[in-house]
Structure 1
Amino acid sequence: MIQRIQTIFLFLVAVAMILVVSFPIWQQVNPGQTQMLTLSAWNLVILDIQTQEVLSSSSKFYIGILAIIAAGLALFSLSQYKNRTKQMFLNMINSLVMVVTLGLIVYTTYQANAEFNPNANGAFVLGFWAIFGGMILNLLANRFIRKDEMLVRSVDRIR
């Protein structure tokens, strides 16, 4: 049913993945110079802090596309409340998409850190932590969907 707790969890998964698209994921400031490296879901930008001029930019659109796919899967799974087995399968696929997104982000930040300033570490910001929130919410939604399925099966057994 649409009024169950897993509906809220799945909606919050979609919100978390939209946060990934909307906010920066990783930042690093080069202490010796006045440059800042920022990874968002769409690009990797080297910015001059003093003049606010973009020195370099490279496209990382695949992170944004995967985040949008994860948000779409969560919303589609939300609408499949009548078929709990399909809903659990969609959530499993969504977890896989989020893990791939997370892996690509870690790989991209590792490569960018090695090129920009290997002596300093960058900081993961809101966009990165939103993925973890989405993954936890997705697991909670799956748990409650499974609980509902077990309840329905136990009631059918009693009849």
Structure 2
Amino acid sequence: MLQRIQTLYLLVSAIVSAGLIFVFHLWVTNDGVKIFAIDNMVYFLLFVGSALLSLISIFRFKNRQSQFVLGRLNMILNFILLGLFVYRSLNLSGETVVSEKGIGIFLPIISIVFLALANKAIKKDEDLVKSVDRLR
């Protein structure tokens, strides 16, 4: 059913992954140029992939097990994205390229939190259905 709470969580995760990347910058260079996710194709594709996995997971509501697996895959994708951000920020020697980190670096963390909440609600629904099946 689309009116479940996990749908809301997955929708917020998709909005964070696909919409907020255009609003919040990832970092600012020494020249004062703001770098967004769309400026780097790898980051952009990972963010869009995360949003697509969230949207696909919303419409897999009839199969809760695959919805749960897609949520887990999406969390792994966001952890990879977060790892790339951490690697980029720690690998720079003396802040040569990046002078200021932006709030956009924390978007995968927000997405991971909402995906975890969605998976918790999906698991709760699955347990409820299993308990009702035992009574029949």
Question: Do they fold alike, i.e. is TM over 0.5?
Answer: yes
Q: Separation in 2 of the partners of 1:41 and 1:110?
A: 18
Q: For 1:7-18, list aligned pairs within 5 A.
A: 7-18=7-18
Residue 26 (structure 1) shift: 2.1
Aligned residues: 135
TM-score by length of 2: 0.88
Aligned to 1:132: 109
The share of aligned pairs that are identical, in percent, is 33
Q: In the alignment, does 2:131 pair up with 1:154?
A: yes
The structure richer in strand per residue is 1
Aligned to 2:36: 40
Q: Separation in 2 of the partners of 1:26 and 1:19?
A: 17
Q: Separation in 2 of the partners of 1:140 and 1:10?
A: 9
Q: 2:70 aligns with which of 80, 83, 90?
A: 90
- Structure of larger gyration radius: 1
What's the CA shift string for 1:108-159, capped at 9, x where partnerless?
23344645179xx63332x222221111000000000000000000000011
Structure 1, unaligned stretches of length 5 or more?
44-59
Indicate the RMSD between aligned Cα atoms, in angstroms: 2.0
SS at match of 1:36: coil
SS at match of 1:116: coil
Residue 20 (structure 1) shift: 4.8
What code does the residue aligned with 2:32 have? M
Q: Separation in 1 of the partners of 2:114 and 2:82?
A: 15
Structure 2, unaligned stretches of length 5 or more?
none
Aligned to 1:2: 2
Q: Separation in 2 of the partners of 1:113 and 1:37?
A: 19
What's the CA shift string for 1:11-53, capped at 9, x where partnerless?
000000014531311235x5xxxx325432133xxxxxxxxxx
What code does the residue aligned with 2:26 have? I
Q: For 1:102-121, list aligned pairs within 5 A.
A: 102-112=82-92, 114=94, 116=96
Aligned to 1:143: 120
What code does the residue aligned with 2:15 have? V
SS at match of 1:122: strand
